[in-house]
Chain A
Amino acid sequence: DTEVTQTPKHLVMGMTNKKSLKCEQHMGHRAMYWYKQKAKKPPELMFVYSYEKLSINESVPSRFSPECPNSSLLNLHLHALQPEDSALYLCASSQGVGGSYEQYFGPGTRLTVT
């Protein structure tokens, strides 16, 4: 089983709302990632968690707040977003941290900020 699940599939929120994206994997992977993907562009790395600790933050604005409650779950808390934050948000996981571990992606959450 190489499945990463994400909820919700679609999300529309106003600029003053607070919402959360959820990601789950049951492959025993110890690294989890958030990516942002704009239309017709490759994914851009936002955050990396390794063994439930934040190991990489790619200078993401503080209106995006990641959380890793346990090794299977990864959340992305959203607050005071801007319309330009509208994108597909992808979660991924890998067995470990390092180039030799292939990343498996979830189906994404399509976010629209109005």
Chain B
Amino acid sequence: GEDVEQSLFLSVREGDSSVINCTYTDSSSTYLYWYKQEPGAGLQLLTYIFSNMDMKQDQRLTVLLNKKDKHLSLRIADTQTGDSAIYFCAESSNAGNMLTFGGGTRLMVKP
């Protein structure tokens, strides 16, 4: 079955860049998503990338996809304290609408 892995925790200083990594096993993964969840809140869709793309940039966010290694990363430039949250990567294939989530990475931003 599909498996999506993320490191549990990342701590950075305000103003630095954050890089959150994700690996997946399903070679048919076509759509890869990044969601942000603040404490006590729902999931906010941040960005997504299709498997035919290598990179996508959206303001402070840069998504890199290495399809060969099945590795996805989310880079947040100029990280702010408001970026402190749990970040989930998720994948789905053309075959169905079910998202497979990683375990989430807790990002802590220190002032």
Q: Which residues of B contact A41 (CB under 8 A)?
A: 103-104
A110 to B41, CA, bound (A): 9
Q: Which residues of A contact B95 (CB under 8 A)?
A: 99
Q: Which residues of A contact B41 (CB under 8 A)?
A: 107-108
CB–CB A99/B30 < 8 A: yes
Give the bracket for the number of chain A residues in contact with chain B: 20 to 34
A43 to B33, CA, bound (A): 14
> Residues on A close to B: CB < 8 A?
2, 4, 6, 31, 40-43, 45, 48, 50, 56, 90, 92, 94, 97-108, 110
CB–CB A105/B42 < 8 A: yes
Number of A-B contacts (CB under 8 A): 58
Q: Which residues of A contact B93 (CB under 8 A)?
A: 99
CB–CB A98/B97 < 8 A: yes
CB–CB B48/A102 < 8 A: yes
CB–CB B45/A42 < 8 A: no
CB–CB B98/A90 < 8 A: no
CB–CB B98/A56 < 8 A: yes
CB–CB A97/B43 < 8 A: no
CB–CB B43/A100 < 8 A: no
Q: Which residues of A contact B42 (CB under 8 A)?
A: 4, 6, 90, 105-108
Q: Which residues of A contact B104 (CB under 8 A)?
A: 40-42
Q: How far is the CB of A111 from chain B (nearest CB, A)?
A: 13
Q: Which residues of B contact A40 (CB under 8 A)?
A: 104
